[in-house]
Structure 1
Amino acid sequence: MTITAAADGSALGNPGPAGWAWYVDETCWRAGGWPHGTNNQGELMAVLDLFRSTAHLPEEPLRILCDSQYVINCITKWMPGWKRKGWRKADGKAVLNVELLKDIDAAIVGRKYSFEWVKGHAGHDLNEAADVRARAVATAYQNKTTVPSGPGFSGATTADPANVDTATTGPTADEPTSTAAEEVPAADQKVTARSNDLLQDDLFSSLEDNPFAPESAKPQDIVVAQERELLDPAVRADIGRTGLLLHKNFEEIGASGRLWSRDAMITSLEAEAPGQMSFELLSAELLNPTTVLVTYRTQSRDQGRTVAALRSSIWLQEAEQWRLRFHQGTVEA
């Protein structure tokens, strides 16, 4: 029988007091955390502990609900390439959170599992239950009160998360923890990045791992693939991925005439209601070796009517990665 569980992480201050949790039902959940960690570390640890807590049931398929595209992509797309490169990315930089990732890599051997992305804070019962418990742990560390740990999985032999040695299972002294973001109001303590300085590219895979782009593609093909990716609702809701795709000096002139900054656009995309847009490529022109101009038409549904828009984007290549520098959209008459 398939085990379905949600896994989530939380950090207050990011980095700061951090918690993680996985949740199956009221009788089967587990949580833990650290006095100092990041949201991504919490997300990864929740998944790791779920695999460990179900290790005594190796034949049971595991269905993991997760609102972090970063975690899903790390495990399902990027880890094999990182391992081949000695746990380094294409640019030679070390992969962050590598100890947690190595532990996950070991824990998934021989397991049947699948990941399903769910939108955070959207009323999904299991995701909300995991989020509440992860946030409760972070709050407990912040207030120096008892850390809730949960009943765990029946038959599991994992250690009490309140007594786990964080030197081996959590953030280490030499592990950078700059995932992160400014603290948000108590009503929504799950912290996400909001600032150019805090959205660190090192947290994410290089764009050569982009599943939308074919291998050995021309610059125009890579850029068009990434433009399509930015229209995907799951990507638009993932600030980690949009933070990587948008240039640090990104600007957009919207159909209303509003000038959007990178931070404002990332925040807006994360909060918008899911919706798919069609994509009709008009042209993709290499202006020079590091600049591509893309023009295309989109169609979407808005309050029951079809809205068509003409769009243009300028992509720049920096450090072997293409990022969107400027975008403009105009509603088509």
Structure 2
Amino acid sequence: MTITAAADGSALGNPGPAGWAWYVNDDCWRAGGWPHGTNNQGELMAVLDLFRATAHVPGEDLRVLCDSQYVINSITKWMPGWKRKGWRKADGKPVLNVELLKELDRELSGRKYTFEWVKGHAGHDLNEAADERARAAATAYQQGVAARSGPGFPGAPGHPGAAAPASAPAPVAAQPSSAARAADAAPGSRIYGAAEGFGGPDLFSGPDLFSVLEENPLAGPGAAEKSPEEIVEALERELVGPEVRGDIGRTGVLLHPDFMEIGSSGRVWTRDAMMMALEEDPGERTELEILGADRIGTSAVLLTYRSYARSGTILRSSLWVLDNGRWRLRFHQGTPEA
């Protein structure tokens, strides 16, 4: 079986309000974006989220339709050389969008996939659908309104149908023959396979949250002896340092796909917006005073605390949920203390 999906990105102004999306069909797609980003970042994020969304079906072949030569060449041609050189280009300069590329490199491991170039804005149904959703997400961030995120992939963690019986059909198509795939490809398309090679802001106006550790303490030595409250408190303390907030790859490890924050300025932040904002400006160092850690059922912990920084004191609450054996941050809110 093969999952066929189009992935696309959009940036209004490039850089500017940016969106990304992948699309299989009307019941299986996902989109997101940031207040400020580039078209290439949107293209990369669309592919990265697609691989993450299908991680629960690693045995399925993934056929990615993409109109970005940059993304295809990065993954199928340039990435091995970049890795050997410590993620630097041939001229010694750092690779752009390196954290997104590192995350992609991790997600690609062990997966069966092909990339197929399609001409953008040429009437290809899946590409047009992905482009429309990516552009809509970018426009939503430009206008300051909520962006439609889509239903996601059936069976993926956090998807409404994740608890459905294992026999529930996923939106995949039967693996076509090589001749059929060639006939199905858009005119002028090209197919690539995996084997081809490869100064802090004002605390009351900026994002309040923090990035993530690459490894969850739940999986570390001695984790079995720690209570959920202790694990969550340790995570929160680790994540307040600006040195780990600005890494977009790390941020994506621990933030729940449906993460939301109501910031101390009153702004609502989505997962993607927070990841991008923190990468650009990780903020100032803060200290925290734990006020409470309350178990909510068996798979959630509500942590409340007071944070101290040069720009003020804020009362905060974080809801951590257990997602496939990993504690992930689902909701955060900050309120300036009177």
TM-score (norm 1): 0.51
4+ long deviations beyond 6 Å = none
The CA distance in 2 between the partners of 1:80 and 1:9, in whole Å, is 24
> Secondary structure at the residue paired with 2:65?
strand
Give 1:160 deviation, angstroms. Answer: 2.3
Residues 170/115 of structure 1: CA separation in 2 closer, same or farther (3 Å cut)? farther
Indicate how the Cα distance of structure 1 residues 71 and 171 shifts in structure 2: closer, same or farther if over 3 A, else same: farther
For the residues of structure 1 that align with 2:272 and 2:22, how far apart are their CA atoms? 19
Change (3 A) 1:28 1:103: same
Residue type of the alignment partner of 1:134: A
Report the equivalent of 2:4. Answer: 4
Residue 271 of structure 2, aligned match among 154, 157, 164: 164
1:26-69 Cα distance to aligned partner (Å, 9 max, x none): 00000000000000000000000000000000000000000000
Does 2:47 correspond to 1:17?
A: no
Is residue 2:78 matched to residue 1:78? yes
1:30 counterpart = 2:30? yes
Shift of 1:72: 0.2
Root-mean-square deviation (Å)? 1.9
Aligned to 1:173: 280
Displacement, 1:157? 1.8
- 2:111 aligns with 111
Report SS of the residue matched to 1:116: strand
Q: 2:199 maps to what in 1? A: none
SS class of match (1:90): coil
Partner residue of 1:221?
A: none
- TM-score (ref. length: structure 2): 0.50
* Alignment correspondent of 2:67: 67
Alignment of 1:117-156 (within 5 A): 117-156=117-156
Give the Cα separation in 1 of the matches to 2:46 and 2:277. 11
Q: Give the direction of change, closer, same or farther, for the CA distance of 1:53–1:112 in structure 2 (3 Å limit).
A: same
CA displacement at 1:166 relative to structure 2: 4.6
Q: 1:165 to 1:19 in 2, by over 3 A?
A: closer
CA distance in 2, matches of 1:91, 1:171: 29
Write out per-residue CA displacement over residues 172-212 of structure 1, whole angstroms, 9 at most, x where no aligned residue.
2289xxxxxxxxxxxxxxxxxxxxxxxxxxxxxxxxxxxxx
* C-alpha distance in 2 between matches for 1:57 and 1:145: 33
| Cα pair distance change 1:89/1:42, threshold 3 Å | same
What residue in structure 1 maps to residue 263 of structure 2? Answer: none
Other-structure match for 2:50: 50
Aligned-partner Cα distance in 2 for 1:167–1:70: 25
**Kept in 2: contact 1:9–1:18 (CA 8 A):** yes
Q: 2:217 maps to what in 1? A: none
Partners of 2:115 and 2:277 in 1: CA distance: 22
Query: Cα distance 1:45–1:171, how it changes in 2: closer, same or farther (>3 A)?
Result: farther
The CA deviation at 1:137 is 0.2
Q: CA deviation at 1:171?
A: 8.0
Between the aligned partners of 1:69 and 1:161, the Cα distance in structure 2 is: 31
Give the deviation of 1:168 after TM superposition.
4.5
**SS where residue 279 of structure 2 aligns?**
coil
Q: Distance in 1 between matches of 2:76 and 2:65?
A: 14
One-letter amino acid matched to 1:126 = L
The amino acid of 1:118's aligned partner reads V
Tell me the distance in 1 between the aligned counterparts of 2:77 and 2:276.
23
Q: Structure 1's 170 and 53: CA in aligned 2 closer, same or farther, altered over 3 A?
A: farther
Opposite residue 172 of structure 1, the aligned amino acid is: E
Q: Distance in 1 between matches of 2:148 and 2:86?
A: 37
Query: Which secondary structure does the structure 2 equivalent of 1:172 belong to?
Result: helix
Q: Aligned AA for 1:46? A: A
SS at structure 2 position matched to 1:9: strand
- Gaps in structure 1 of 5+ consecutive residues: 176-333
Whether contact under 8 Å (1:30, 1:149) holds in the other structure is yes
Residues 146 and 165 (structure 1 numbering): CA distance in 2 closer, same or farther, change over 3 Å?
Answer: closer
How has the CA–CA distance of structure 1 residues 109 and 171 changed in structure 2, closer, same or farther, with 3 Å as cutoff?
farther
In structure 1, C-alpha distance between the alignment counterparts of 2:4 and 2:259, rounded to whole Å: 21
- Report if aligned partners of 2:34, 2:272 keep a CA contact under 8 Å in 1: no
Offset at residue 146 of structure 1 (A): 1.2
**Cα distance, 1:161 vs. partner?**
7.2
- 2:259 and 2:125 map into 1 onto residues whose CA distance is 24
Question: How far apart, CA to CA, are the structure 2 residues paired with 1:122 and 1:42?
Answer: 20
Quick one: distance in 2 between partners of 1:168 and 1:138?
Answer: 15
1:123 maps to a residue whose letter is G
Question: How far apart are the structure 2 equivalents of 1:71 and 1:7?
Answer: 10
Deviation at 1:165, TM superposition (A): 5.3
Contact 1:16/1:38, CA 8 A, preserved across alignment: yes
Distance in 1 between the 2:277 and 2:71 partners? 15
Contact 2:37 2:276 (8 Å CA) reproduced = no
Per the alignment, residue 88 of structure 1 pairs with 88
Percent identity of paired positions between Structure 1 and Structure 2: 76
User: How far is the alpha carbon of 1:94 from its aligned partner?
Assistant: 0.1
Aligned length: 175
